[in-house]
Structures are given as structure tokens and as C-alpha cells.
Amino acid sequence: MMAMMQTERVVLSAIEPEDIPTIVRWRNQPDVYSGFIEYEPLNTTQQAAFLAALTPEGTRRLWLINARKASKADAVPIGTVGIMDLDRRNRRCEFGPIFIGELDYRGQGLAKEAEILVLDYCFNHLGLHKVIAHVTESNAAVIPFHEAAGFTHDTLLRDHIFRNGRFEDLHLLSCLSEEFRERFPTGGPAPK
């Protein structure tokens, strides 16, 4: 596994073709897809096409979240994290999606470490100024998770998306580079 960003417990790596069936299984779990703004069922052909469209010069990045076991050399895939709408001119992007698909690894702070690694990448590698996050009202329980990683709640967009036969509010959060560096002076969990 070629790792780009890692902590003692988390390794973010490139997604390989053999990871696609696992990602599709995770994404089709009701508790995972309910947190996505787009929530249609996903198949391996769609996921493969999505990944094939990702290019280094494109506006999206997606990484596999791996959790280290007892042996630091070994890690198991547990979820994904990404950024989208990368706007180099205005030096901003949108954080997400992020999820832990393996139930045994939830609630251990691994997603927060992955989020901080991605924010560190955005601010200290890409040189971005701002990262935003959209959170649906039905998934508002994750707002404190984002706030712990440095995001601030900016506003509520009323009746902004249509899901499950009704309109739903959308929370807009943001994190500025100076706020992140203030909160995580060493860049959070440092990439190794």
C-alpha cells in the first residue's frame, strides 16, 4: 500500500481496482448512504467509472482510510475520505465525503484523524485558504465531529435539498487555513 498521509493509527492511501467492491458494499449500507446528499444505490461499474474520472489535475480527490492493526506495517481498509470542487484560483474546496464503512472501527476517532490529515493536506500541501463542508439536517449529528477538526458553523440553507419526498435544510461549515493552524500548530497528525 502506497501511503501519502498517515498517523500512528490511520493511513490514507490510493484506491485500487480491487477496493471497488468493498467501497460499493460500504456505500450501499443505509447508515452510510443516508449521510450523502446523493443517495442512489451504487454498483461496481458506477464506482469504477467515478474513480477512472479522477485525475491529478481534476477537482476531486478520494482516499481509502486504513486502520493500523497491532503491527504498524499492516493496515485494513475501513472507509473513504475525499475533497471535491477544488478551486485553485480561489484557493478553496469542499471536504467530503467521509465515512467509516466497517462497523467495528466506528467510534474510535479514526475518522477525525483522517479528516485532520485531509485538512492538513489541503492547507499545507495544496496551499488552500478555505475548506467548506455541507451537512444535511438529517445528518446534523456529525456537526460536532467537523467542529472538533476545526470547522465553524457558518449558516443554515433552508429547504436546500430535496430527499425522501421532502425538502431538507443544509448546514454550511467552513475552516480557514489560519484557524486550522491555530488549532493544530503542528498540522494535526503529521503526515509521515
pLDDT confidence band for 78 (50 / 70 / 90): very high
Q: Output 187 or 41, whichever has higher pLDDT.
A: 41
Is residue 152 a contact partner of residue 173, using CB atoms and an 8 Å limit?
yes
Tens-place pLDDT, residues 84-95: 999 999 999 999
Q: What is the pLDDT of residue 191?
A: 41
Query: CA Rg, the chain, in Å?
Result: 16
Q: Among residues of the chain, what percentage have pLDDT more than 70?
A: 92
- 26 Cβ contact partners less than 8 Å away, ≥ 6 residues apart: 32, 79, 80, 99, 101, 102
| CA separation for the pair 29, 103 (Å, rounded) | 11
pLDDT confidence band for 2 (50 / 70 / 90): very low
Handedness of CA 31, 33, 36, 39 (dihedral sign): negative
Q: What is the pLDDT of residue 1?
A: 41
> Does pLDDT of 65 surpass 80?
yes
Pairing, β 10-13 against β 3-6: antiparallel
**CATH architecture of the domain formed by 3-183:** 3-Layer(aba) Sandwich (3.40)
**Domain segments of the chain as ranges:** 3-183
- Write down the pTM of the prediction: 0.90
Is residue 96 a contact partner of residue 35, using CB atoms and an 8 Å limit?
no
Q: What is the pLDDT of residue 189?
A: 57
| CA separation for the pair 11, 66 (Å, rounded) | 5
Q: What is the pLDDT of residue 108?
A: 95
